[in-house]
Amino acid sequence: MNRIFSGIQPTGNLHLGNYLGAIRNWVQLQSSYDCIFCMVDMHAITQWQEPAELRRSTREVASAYIASGIDAKKHIIFNQSRVRAHAQLAWIFNCVARLGWLNRMTQFKEKAGKDRENASVGLYVYPSLMAADILAYKATHVPVGEDQKQHLELARDIAQKFNHDFGVEFFPLIEPIIKGEATRVMSLRDGSKKMSKSDPSDYSRINLTDTADTIALKIRKAKTDPHPLPESVAELEKRPEADNLVGIYAALSDKTRGDVLVHYAGAQFSKFKAELSDLAVSVLGPIGAEMQRLMKDPDHVDAILRDGAERAQAIADPIVAQVEEIVGFLKP
């Protein structure tokens, strides 16, 4: 069976983009793949994190995975730092990846901003660690939102260069899975900006822990244009805020934008937003409630993560030992 690896940074404010772009797809894919889902805490510290908050947030993301329906017995859920193989392989990949490749990464440019000299070295080499996350398990498929596409292309380049440099067919070529109607959920305040954890306005995103009232309020206040909903997807695509809300509706109901428009063409936003709120609350409400319940039982969550890490390590350690052998490290 093909293997999936994917992860989310435990940096607070898990939002609808993370859910629709990643977690909801994972839940569907777990019947066809062996899956490893990670809280990538080593990635999180490429930017400053309060230690206590990092621990809380790691448990919160784990709770979101479980509450959304990931089966932690059949598949693996763990936090990255528990499995040393990630760091070991990342170092080797730092020596395979080229500076020129990393210089092209748009996410580094966005995150480092104007003060590039002051960004951590970890933030710069982040894509090598991401490649290591996936390839330490020889994962073949990686379900993510659209913003991770460039990182996955780099991971493919690293795998290919490693195979080529050492004359082996060791690493598989990674296939991204970027699917559904919400691969890039946009801010509710600005249809040209991605919904993100770091947006200073909480009204820009729906958090998985938001109450029903907050979800309804944020959708009611979401930016729109004055026209009724159009009849065709082509027309919709010219209206970023409308496109975003229809895309969210489609993803939450497992439909296409076209299906949603069949129902809502000509409708005013007041009606559409009210029904989108009901739909969002009906999907996210139970997940949020289950997350709250799990967060009250950290020992239970920790036990799941410990067990997941043991099983992850059992897969990754022999693979990384083989890599070290290929590279020529002298072993006992």
Judged by the rule CB under 6 A, the positions of this chain that interact with ligand TYM are 5-9, 17-18, 21-22, 40, 43, 130, 133-134, 142, 144-145, 147-148, 151, 182-185, 194-195
Active site residue 221: no
- Are 79 and 306 spatial neighbours (Cβ–Cβ below 8 Å)? no
Q: Which residues contact 117 (CB under 8 A, 6 or more apart)?
A: none
C-alpha to C-alpha distance for 31 and 52, rounded to whole angstroms: 35
- 3-state helix, strand, coil split of the chain in percent (to 5) is 60, 10, 35
Catalytic: which of 138, 197, 223, 255? 197
Catalytic: which of 114, 179, 193, 194? 194
Least Å distance, CB 150 to ligand TYM, is 10
What single-letter DSSP state applies at residue 20?
I
Q: Which is nearer to ligand TYM, 109 or 271 (CB)?
A: 109
Least Å distance, CB 237 to ligand TYM, is 17
C-alpha to C-alpha distance for 247 and 195, rounded to whole angstroms: 13
Q: Which is nearer to ligand TYM, 194 or 218 (CB)?
A: 194
Q: Which is nearer to ligand TYM, 247 or 288 (CB)?
A: 247
Least Å distance, CB 226 to ligand TYM, is 25
Helix (H, G, I), strand (E, B) or coil at 76: strand
Catalytic: which of 111, 138, 223, 255? 111
Least Å distance, CB 175 to ligand TYM, is 12
Token output for 56: 């809380």
Q: Which is nearer to ligand TYM, 30 or 267 (CB)?
A: 30
Token output for 33: 């793949």
Token output for 28: 């569907």
Active site residue 296: no
* Residues with active-site annotation: 111, 194, 197
